[in-house]
Amino acid sequence: MTVEQMVKVAYDAIDDKLGQDISIINIGQVSSLCDYFIIATASSSRQVKAIADSVQDAFTEQGIEPRAKEGYDTQTWILLDYGDIIVHVFDEENREFYNLEKLWKDAPYVDIDTLN
């Protein structure tokens, strides 16, 4: 599976659970941390968990497990590290507070429809 296909799998899993404000940032252009951040907002801690579970389930179906996962205890910001992509699912308050888009402002945004 290509990195771009992984991004689409994550995006679709987030969208399926009604994740809001989904951003795809190509941080590979400015950092060696990974290729893409996928950032989404959920309206409640319950939805944060549901979205993260949906992403994990979609990747598990493809035989891919996360290298690391953080935040399941608080369910305000769950991070799923798949190596080439890192998925961040925030509640509204924490997304605004941490503002990853501002932190990675030099990295270009990617439109899901333009990925191969």
Domains of the chain, residue spans: 3-111
Mean pLDDT for the chain overall: 94
Whether the Cβ atoms of residue 90 and residue 14 lie closer than 8 Å to each other: no
- Please answer whether residues 112 and 50 qualify as being in contact, where contact means their C-beta atoms are separated by less than 8 angstroms: no
Looking at residue 51, its pLDDT comes to: 97
Structure tokens belonging to residue 20: 């809001």
- CATH number given to 3-111: 3.30.460.10
> What pLDDT, on the 0 to 100 scale, is given for residue 80?
98
What value does the CA radius of gyration of the chain take, rounded to a whole number of Å? 13
Compute the distance between CA of residue 3 and CA of residue 101 in angstroms, rounded to an integer.
20
Inform me whether the pLDDT recorded for 40 exceeds 80. yes
Q: Determine the pLDDT at residue 11.
A: 97
pLDDT for position 53: 97
| Tens digit of each residue's pLDDT (9 = 90 or more) over 41-67 | 999 999 999 999 999 999 999 999 999
pTM: 0.94
Query: Which DSSP string do the residues of 99-116 spell out, in sequence order?
Result: -HHHHTTTSPB--GGG--
